[in-house]
Copies of this chain bind each other. A is one copy, B any other.
Amino acid sequence: MSRALSNPDRVSEGTRARVFAAVEETGYTLNQAGRSLRQRTSRTILVALPDIGNTFFSTILDAIEREAVLRGYGVLVANRFAGHDSGRRLHEYFLSNRADGLLLLDGSVQLEQLLALTSPPIGVPLVMACEAIAQSPFHTVKTDNVFAAEVATRHLIGLGHRAIGHIRGPKGNVLSIEREAGFARAMATAGLDVRASWMFEAGFEMSQGLAAAERFVALAERPTAMFAANDETAIGFLSGLRRHGLECPRDISLVGFDDLAFAAHFWPPLTSMRQPREALGRIAAEALIDLIEGEPRRRVPRHTVLSSELIVRASTARLATAPSAPALASL
């Protein structure tokens, strides 16, 4: 019976038909637990992410899930992943044979914990997506954040801005580091200074963008344009500026990153670097499943880099020729 189901295997047409008929009639369904036990395979992948609640990740998860289902895999999610016990949690999932591979969207897991998982004794197939470490020994799928950030910054420079600041992502995060590097490179290339007082610490959350705005308005001398590490902080930042009567793009031009669905409908519509999130999720899932089903671990890590696209909207404008001091008009 098992033979007939591994389709055109080695059974005669007659028996195959009989088996399928019996399956139809009795409503037989394969018991995954039995198969898993025997084949030491679960046909399930584990997706570990920092925050499902965040649209950015949930869109990617959407694409991952779609691809996985297409290839007959289930998707287990592990949210809020990083933490002191992430190593133990990973261990449990894989040693216990619950998942065949790990798709990691969280760059802040300790490298050594990952190595412990992927090397011989355990040998879990692993693909890092989005927040992939650069020269990583694993398969990675990501966008070229450095270049994208450079493009975003050049866009501001191209509009005539010279005084440009940056809202950083979370400290230590790979994406933050790369985006800041791209920003710095564009500034350097254009011969512009990066002023320390125009670099704002934030995270990737709206509330942190809001807080950055408070520090921004307190500045004696303000930049005329800002590049935010992601759309959420950009949106929080603008929301904060408005409370002080500053308007975008009149008083400041702003570029975000990610091009969330909300960015287009925000006021003003947000200029942003669009990340190919669907492609990212799909390709990562493909890569992981290929890895799971492929030759046992003799494949060299492949690094896929996708490119982002600058979507220009109304939040960025040409610098007024006579730069007026931002008026503190009240609402």
Contacts and interface: CB of A to CB of B under 8 A. Distances in A.
Copies in the complex: 2
Interface stretch (A31-39, A101-109, A129-137, A215-223): A31-39
B265 A267 contact: no
Contact of A261 (B78, B206, B242, B265): B206
A42 B76 CA distance: 13
A119 interface: no
Contacts of A42: 32-33
Contacts of A266: 239, 266-267
Q: Which of A33, A37, A51 has the most CB of B within 10 A?
A: A33
A75 interface: yes
Contact of A242 (B59, B66, B267): B267
Interface in A60-77: 61-62, 65-66, 69, 74-77
A259 to B, nearest CB: 13
Interface string A242-278: 1000000000000000000110111101000000000
| Main DSSP-derived SS at the A contact region | helix
A40 B261 CA distance: 43
Interface stretch (A3-11, A89-97, A147-155, A172-180): A89-97
A31 B80 contact: no
A61 B52 contact: yes
Contacts of A79: 61-62, 65-66
Contact of A92 (B29, B54, B61): B29
Contacts of A59: 53
Contacts of A32: 36, 42, 96-98
B52 A58 contact: yes
A110 interface: no
A156 interface: no
Contacts of A238: 265, 267
A219 B256 CA distance: 36
A210 B265 contact: yes
A235 interface: yes
Contacts of A308: none
Contacts of A33: 33, 36-37, 40, 42, 97
19 contacts: A29-B91, A30-B96, A33-B33, A33-B36, A34-B37, A36-B36, A53-B62, A57-B58, A65-B77, A65-B79, A74-B93, A75-B77, A76-B76, A77-B77, A206-B261, A210-B265, A239-B265, A239-B267, A266-B266
Given A44-B76, A69-B78, A239-B266, 19 more contacts: A29-B96, A32-B97, A33-B36, A33-B42, A51-B62, A52-B62, A52-B65, A53-B58, A53-B59, A53-B62, A58-B61, A65-B78, A66-B79, A66-B80, A75-B76, A238-B265, A239-B264, A262-B262, A266-B266
